Homo-oligomer: A and B are copies of this chain.
Amino acid sequence: MMAQSDLDLKEMALKEDLKFYFMNPCEKYRARRQIPWKLALQILKILMVTTQLVFFGLSNQLVVSFKEENTVAFKHLFLKGYSGTDEDDYSCSIYTQQDAYDSIFYVINQYRNLKNISLGTLGYEHEESGLKICKQQYKRGTMLPSNDTLNIDVSTETECILLKPKELTGKKAELKLNSSFFNLEFYRLIQVEISFKLKGIALQTIHARELPDCYAFQNTITFNNRAHSGKIKVYFDSDTDIQECKDWHIFNSVLQKNTQYILVFDGFVILSCLASLILCTRSIVLSSCPVVAFELFFTSLVGWPCSVRGR
């Protein structure tokens, strides 16, 4: 009789447990007055990660548009006769010797007077690196197309000239610019490559109550005469690196507090992710929460970069 009753009791308890197991949070609350704090934690975590993603996307969009507008501005500043839209995969093309010389010296002059021309917050890089002009050409050769005769040395040579920011004006610069380097022999010229590094500061982020970013633009203008078809294609390429500004003082700003808020918020995100992780691990161990397990995996993937950005 006792055993029977004990068995009944056990069966009842199991039934109860099973019933409870398949209840939704509302029913659980009604059954045992148990607050569904695990669910609340999950929802909180999703909300926090989503918020972080949105912030991340917005600040990223600023960065992308800043880079694109800078590239367009560089093309207008340094490419002579740039129409505003690229031809094919190159930006513009040159058909006469005079235009070729003009375009090259246009780049140099615009670079020299950059401070007085550019609207952006641009500056030269270190004193060492400056404007580097390299011409690549066949070593020597004579070509007389009229007689179908051609003497050419296939091996190429590359000559370079470096104009440091310090030397942009004055005697030394003039000497360099008047040197024989700029007597281009187009029949053996392969390409002229002008490269320079500029530094810029994006202030727009301040409006978004974030710290300003410092940028380094590695610009390369290539006059490509590889085809020797009478058409030099001009390529413009701008590689942008984001760097931390070394030395900044921002007055009257809520940036400091704001970054503290962001840090605190990031801390909460990490905490809630950790709590979720522990709960889910426990659930997996108890073999009762595969769905949450998947979510755990997904969350750790998504939440990580966001948390990292917060620093």
Known contacts A202-B228, A230-B70: does B119 contact A247 (CB below 8 Å)?
Answer: no
A170 contacts B by Cβ under 8 Å? no
Known contacts A149-B248, A152-B203: does B96 contact A231 (CB below 8 Å)?
Answer: no
Of B147, B199, B250, the contact of A148 (CB 8 Å cutoff) = B199
Measured between beta carbons, the chain B residues less than 8 angstroms from A120 are 186, 228-231
Known contacts A66-B229, A97-B117, A225-B119: does B251 contact A150 (CB below 8 Å)?
Answer: no
Measured between beta carbons, the chain B residues less than 8 angstroms from A153 are 250-252
Measured between beta carbons, the chain B residues less than 8 angstroms from A144 are 123
Complex CA–CA separation, A77 to B99 (angstroms): 12
Shortest CB distance A245–B (Å): 5
Q: How large is the interface on A (under 10, 10 to 19, 20 to 34, 35 or more residues)?
A: 35 or more
Whether B145 and A231, one on each chain, are in contact in the complex, defined by CB atoms closer than 8 angstroms, is no
What sequence of 0s and 1s flags, for each residue 186-203 of chain A, a beta carbon within 8 Å of any chain B beta carbon?
110000000000111111
What sequence of 0s and 1s flags, for each residue 239-261 of chain A, a beta carbon within 8 Å of any chain B beta carbon?
00001111111111101000000
Known contacts A72-B231, A73-B231: does B97 contact A123 (CB below 8 Å)?
Answer: no
Of B150, B187, B201, B252, the contact of A145 (CB 8 Å cutoff) = B201
Shortest CB distance A186–B (Å): 5
Whether A123 and B146, one on each chain, are in contact in the complex, defined by CB atoms closer than 8 angstroms, is yes
Task: Tell me the residues in window 138-189 of chain A with beta carbons closer than 8 Å to chain B beta carbons.
Answer: 138-139, 143-155, 186-187
A94 contacts B by Cβ under 8 Å? yes
Whether A253 and B96, one on each chain, are in contact in the complex, defined by CB atoms closer than 8 angstroms, is no
Smallest CB gap from A233: residue in B: B69
What sequence of 0s and 1s flags, for each residue 59-73 of chain A, a beta carbon within 8 Å of any chain B beta carbon?
000000110011011
Of B65, B73, B147, the contact of A247 (CB 8 Å cutoff) = B147
Whether A200 and B118, one on each chain, are in contact in the complex, defined by CB atoms closer than 8 angstroms, is no
What sequence of 0s and 1s flags, for each residue 121-142 of chain A, a beta carbon within 8 Å of any chain B beta carbon?
1111110000000000011000
Task: Tell me the residues in window 207-245 of chain A with beta carbons closer than 8 Å to chain B beta carbons.
Answer: 207, 212, 214, 225-232, 243-245
Smallest CB gap from A248: residue in B: B150
Smallest CB gap from A99: residue in B: B119
Measured between beta carbons, the chain B residues less than 8 angstroms from A65 are 227, 229
Task: Tell me the residues in window 82-104 of chain A with beta carbons closer than 8 Å to chain B beta carbons.
Answer: 94-98, 100
Shortest CB distance A234–B (Å): 12
Which 4 pairs from chain A and chain B are nearest by CB? A120-B230, A73-B230, A123-B145, A69-B229
